Amino acid sequence: MIKFSSTRLAWVFALSMLASCKQENKETGQGPTEKPNIIFIMSDDHTTQGLGVYGSRLAALDPTPNLDQLANEGMLMENVFVNNAICVPSRAAIITGQHSQRNGVLDLEGVLPPDRQYLPKEMKKLGYQTAIIGKWHLHEEPAAFDYYQVLPVQGKYFDPDFRVRGGEEWPNNVVKTKGHSTDVITDITLDWLKNKRDKSKPFFLMHHYKAPHDDFENAPRYDDYLADTFIPEPESLYDNKNNGSIATRGANDSLTRIIGSSVSRRNLIRNQAMNIYQDSSIYKQYRDASTIGTDEHVAWKYNEEEKKIASQVYQDYLKRYLRCVKGVDDNIKRLLDYLKENDLYDNTIIVYTGDQGFMLGEHDYIDKRWMYDESMRMPFFVRYPKKIKPGSRSDAIINNTDFAPTLIEMAGGTAPDYMQGKSFKTILETGKEPEDWPKSTYYRYWMHMAHRHGNPAHFGIRTKDYKLIFFYGRYWVDTDDPNAEYNKASWGNDFTRKTPVAWEFYDLKKDPKEMNNAYKDPAYQEVIAQLKKELIRVREELDETDKNYPHIQKVIDAHWND
């Protein structure tokens, strides 16, 4: 037996500890007791239907193998919902942990000044170096971040400009780049990770893609992706059955030609053919009025010719969308490969989400804005093997105002009282939903028939089993009143219509695709009454009432018991 002196044993132990510390320092950029790094990855309009791991009709196409693998290595959340399915309010909710009336961002014109950029502020208090790269879209400078390189407003798909911290003052601090935005955003993030971050600190990085936001301009290398593949179509593209109400369809479907931007030529104001064929010689063919006439008060009905046209538009639409998604998925691999190669992968909390859902032809709708699930549901999964079990799932009701409190707690802090969201850290780590966890989520789309999309203003509540929506329309705005104050850019424009008021109710267990508005069904009247009580309670709790909008409150009072 070999014998060691106590002095030699002490040296062996010391060298062993030193090697351990060096390895830990290589992995994290900090010492062994420091906090995990956090990367929050968000794509624009990447809906759950566009990810294989959510098992949608598109899953067999395998559109996101790298993101699916990431999701399978952590927890996938099945019931994550946006507070308002439009870019700016959603991003404001994520940054502030607050709903729209509390953070002041109700619509696309809303701004978030540095003093309300709470998430990076709280992360810096916890010792994190903070950065945001890619899409920002909250108009004012993201000055609360230590580093930023962000697209101006929506930004461009090709050769995008960025506003960068340092040098010129915002908004003149512009640098030009070459390439496709998805590639360029990843390049910038990798450069920051390699060369610009302070490796003595943990980092909190928000990595935000523009893709797959319309108008779906993919990198040329994806032009042939899915070219010869038939993309599965939603049944509701051609037959919307009893989805909707007088508020979304008009009496006897008389408003179907103007409400809800469409895949087909149903919507005379905005349809997908107008978007994707605008630079093509076939644009005029699809722009021209439908064969059934142009009267906006004549109900839309499919015939065989219109089905053929809608199918071609849908196929082209989805292929363009999925080519942008493919670019995101491939670039995610580049980012994850860097983390793995530099021993950062297992000590970094990696979050992936979209800023809301997106309609991919369901109900013959495009875009988002609706409270229907394809629009309001966000993809969301988290990988962190030190705390989160691989292959786990949760159906807890999560709102995007909950993101900031959760990230703060995962970083070792405590969510501040001014945030309305709640941390779901324990759900991620245990897979169990606390008994006092919220059983519902609140939604509010403030804009009305704006930007040619034709979505009436509405709010509502969703539980795991049911959904109740109130479309209050535009009767609350008296445009003849010189003292009426509202955001005319988002709350009404040249295509504004006064739309009817109506309720919609869906039994999500029996009708998950929301094809039957059962609001008038006697069997559900008790459930609906309870949901209305919950809706009142939540609106008061979140300071989301209409006490500051008496025109809206007047409509609510007049139609609450309809």
User: CA-CA distance, 107 to 103, in Å (whole number)?
Assistant: 11
For domain 34-221+319-430, the CATH architecture is 3-Layer(aba) Sandwich (3.40)
Q: What is the pLDDT of residue 514?
A: 98
Q: What is the pLDDT along the chain (562 residues), one digit of tens a residue?
A: 444 444 444 444 444 444 444 434 444 444 445 799 999 999 999 999 999 999 999 999 999 999 999 999 999 999 999 999 999 999 999 999 999 999 999 999 999 999 999 999 999 999 999 999 999 999 999 999 999 999 999 999 999 999 999 889 999 999 999 999 999 999 999 999 999 999 999 999 999 999 999 989 999 999 999 999 999 999 999 999 999 999 999 999 999 999 999 999 999 889 998 878 876 555 565 555 444 455 677 888 889 989 999 999 999 999 999 999 999 999 999 999 999 999 999 999 999 999 999 999 999 999 999 999 999 999 999 999 999 999 999 999 999 999 999 999 999 999 999 999 999 999 999 999 999 999 999 999 999 888 888 899 999 999 999 999 999 986 545 544 545 555 666 665 444 567 899 999 999 999 999 999 999 999 999 999 999 999 999 999 999 999 988 888 989 999 999 9
Q: What is the pLDDT of residue 190?
A: 98
Instruction: Give me the helices (H) in 342-474, please.
Output: 373-376, 403-410, 425-430
User: What is the residue extent of each domain of the chain?
Assistant: 34-221+319-430, 224-316, 441-559
Q: What is the pLDDT of residue 383?
A: 98
User: CA-CA distance, 210 to 223, in Å (whole number)?
Assistant: 18
Q: Do residues 164 and 175 make contact, with C-beta atoms less than 8 angstroms apart?
A: yes
Instruction: Find the helix or strand (DSSP H, E) in which 47 lies.
Output: none
* Nearest Cα to Cα of residue 210 among 220, 218, 202: 218
Q: Residues 94, 506, 59, CA angle at the centre, nearest 5°?
A: 65
Q: What is the pLDDT of residue 59?
A: 97
CA separation, residue 344 to residues 27, 72, 350, 386 (Å): 5, 18, 11, 13
Q: What is the pLDDT of residue 485?
A: 57
- Flag whether the pTM goes above 0.85: yes
User: CA-CA distance, 132 to 121, in Å (whole number)?
Assistant: 13
Q: What is the pLDDT of residue 4?
A: 43
Q: Do residues 473 and 498 make contact, with C-beta atoms less than 8 angstroms apart?
A: yes
Instruction: Give me the helices (H) in 49-86, please.
Output: 65-72
Alpha-carbon torsion angle 356, 360, 365, 367, nearest 10: 40
Residues 6+ apart with CB under 8 A from 305: 291
User: CA-CA distance, 139 to 201, in Å (whole number)?
Assistant: 29
Q: What is the pLDDT of residue 297?
A: 73
Q: What is the pLDDT of residue 6?
A: 46
* Nearest Cα to Cα of residue 554 among 469, 479, 473, 482: 473
Q: Do residues 210 and 44 make contact, with C-beta atoms less than 8 angstroms apart?
A: yes
User: CA-CA distance, 459 to 445, in Å (whole number)?
Assistant: 6
Q: What is the pLDDT of residue 341?
A: 98
Bond preceding residue 171 cis, omega within 30 of 0: yes
What is the CATH topology of the domain spanning 441-559? Arylsulfatase, C-terminal domain (3.30.1120)
- Total residue length of the chain: 562
Which DSSP string do the residues of 85-138 spell out, in sequence order? SSHHHHHHHHHHS--HHHHT--STT----GGG-HHHHHHHHTT-EEEEEE---S
Longest dimension (CA), the chain: 99
Residue 45, both tokens? 């309009």
Q: What is the pLDDT of residue 491?
A: 64
User: CA-CA distance, 302 to 236, in Å (whole number)?
Assistant: 12
DSSP conformational letter for 463: -
Per DSSP bridges, beta strands 129-134 and 203-208 are parallel
